[in-house]
Amino acid sequence: MGMPTVYTTAHVLSSVISTAKMTGTVGFVPTMGALHEGHLSLVNKALDENSLVVVSIFVNPTQFNNASDLSNYPRNLRTDLELLSVFDRVIVFAPSVEDIYPKNDFFEPIDLNCLDTRLEGAYRPGHFQGVVHVVRNLFNIVQPHRAYFGEKDFQQLAVIRRMVVLLSFTTEIISCPTHRSVNGLALSSRNVRLSDQGRSHALIISQTLNYMKNLGHDATPSKVMELGNAYFSKGNLSLEYLEIVDANSLTTLTNHWSDHSVCCIAAHCEDVRLIDNLAL
């Protein structure tokens, strides 16, 4: 199969995509590189459902609210291309910052109805508007029939779904389950920055989520959060938040469960910020 073709400019990619659309559908997997099994499962799903799949690899500066997080973000295009070389019908878009954000680019933050101020948004101001900005620009270039996002970034999915409605994109948003290592750690590009000991300490995140799920709905969400916090504190990580929220509104549940209750955790392990979530 060989290395996938890499396009670095929007206009060349657009013309390849226009030709492909004459005979089939285009699936899109936006990534920031440092690909892992989770990304590859998105590519597999996209290949099942489309004739051509575009994988973008672009570390988006506008979604980092912390300069060192941006500079430490893992980048390895060659390894990414090797991982993608097992697939047929995949092309890669690896643009420059100037290509994604040309001089005449205009972006007005969209009303995310509190989706961007809660949980991640509270700790990463501006992050979700940065995600919306880049995904809007990427969608405008690729104009995919379907786009694939992982459920690990649960809040990002909610934000993208809202963006698609507000900006009238016709792209269908497809969510795919979180991939985990055998011992439960949610796969993330950031995991490469963890030592072996860090990886083992990080397991407290998924263990806490499973512990909370097993508590069931007999106790109130507040009580389950209290017990979850106590369980989490037996580990070595520093917690940013642990919250049970309604999956649609992202409001914290206290006395009553909703039809779709999700527990979200963000924590720091060896200076690496990790997030995970589980439907309870």
Whether 268 is catalytic is no
Rank residues 54 and 134 by Cβ distance to ligand PAF and give the closer one. Answer: 134
Encoded one letter per residue, x for contact with ligand PAF by CB under 6 A and - for no contact, window 174-213 reads: ----------------------------------------
Q: Is 62 in the site for ligand PAF (CB under 6 A)?
A: no
CA–CA distance, 71 with 99 (Å, rounded to integer): 20
Report the nearest approach of ligand PAF to the CB of residue 62 (Å). Answer: 9
Rank residues 139 and 231 by Cβ distance to ligand PAF and give the closer one. Answer: 139
Q: Are 197 and 272 in contact (CB under 8 A)?
A: no
Encoded one letter per residue, x for contact with ligand PAF by CB under 6 A and - for no contact, window 6-45 reads: ------------------------xxx-------------
Which backbone phi and psi does 114 adopt, to 5 degrees?
Answer: 75, -10
Q: Are 213 and 193 in contact (CB under 8 A)?
A: no
Name residues whose C-beta falls within 8 Å of residue 75's C-beta, 6 or more positions apart in sequence. 33, 34, 59
CA–CA distance, 150 with 271 (Å, rounded to integer): 23
CA–CA distance, 31 with 95 (Å, rounded to integer): 12
Rank residues 52 and 134 by Cβ distance to ligand PAF and give the closer one. Answer: 134
Rank residues 224 and 274 by Cβ distance to ligand PAF and give the closer one. Answer: 274
Report the nearest approach of ligand PAF to the CB of residue 60 (Å). Answer: 4
Instruction: List alpha helices for 109-153, DSSP H.
Output: 120-123, 127-142
Binding residues for ligand PAF (CB under 6 A): 30-32, 60, 63, 131, 134-135, 153, 156
